[in-house]
Amino acid sequence: MATTRDVTVFVGSLRKESFNRKMAKALVAIAPAPLKLEIVEIGQLPLYNQDDDAHPPAASAAFKARVRKADAVLFVTPEYNRGVPGVLKNAIDLASRPYGDSAWSGKPGAVVSVSPGAIGAFGANHHLRQSLVFLNVPAMPQPEAYIGNAAKIFDASGALIDDSVREFMQKFLAAFAQWIERNIGK
């Protein structure tokens, strides 16, 4: 019997009806049995301020503790100006500081980028991967997940209705489960 793995999911968009939030919810619903995906909200987090390192705000400390508790991390992000949205970068910074006390270190990770455009937020996906290298988060290299034309893959209620995207995401999650097992604790 496979060990259940606690995977925190971070959505890089705060909009309630964002395509990325819809995708994150779809991934929670279709995750294979060894993965327990939980969306961890980041919109309420204060801005990172190095002056707070010794005594972080309660929301920052709780967030960092939740990241530390996770077995693995999954990012579902849009692209803003060819990069990662500020809210997601802030969350990453909060859990990585002070220097030398990162909650991210060693946690297997993966990135899904979703966009109404054709290239599926390619820029944000790779921008995020740059930070993950520094944070010692082994990011799954394949399969890559750039989901474009997002306005056509969900119905009015937010359900994933594109069978080819659903099948791809199921394969992605199966590969991620294997990636976690190969990289956990390294």
Convert the pLDDT of each residue in 81-97 to its tens digit.
Answer: 999 999 999 999 999 99
Residue 107 has pLDDT above 80, yes or no: yes
CA proximity to 94, closest of 128, 122, 66: 66
10 Å Cβ neighbour count for 69?
Answer: 10
| Residue 141 placed within a domain | yes
| Domain ranges, residue 136 | 10-183
- CATH number of 82's domain: 3.40.50.360
| Residue 85 placed within a domain | yes
What does the alpha-carbon distance between residue 22 and residue 11 come to, in Å, rounded to a whole number? Answer: 10
Residue 185 has pLDDT above 80, yes or no: no
| Residue 3 placed within a domain | no
DSSP, residue by residue, 54-92? SS--HHHHHHHHHHHH-SEEEEEE--BTTB--HHHHHHH
Residue 152 has pLDDT above 70, yes or no: yes
pTM flag (> 0.85): yes
* Residue 2, pLDDT score: 73
| Residue 1 placed within a domain | no
| Residue 70 placed within a domain | yes
* Residue 160, pLDDT score: 95
Mean pLDDT of the chain, nearest integer: 95
| Residue 75 placed within a domain | yes
| Residue 110 placed within a domain | yes
* Residue 120, pLDDT score: 84
Convert the pLDDT of each residue in 57-77 to its tens digit.
Answer: 999 999 999 999 999 999 999
> Structurally, how many domains does the chain consist of?
1
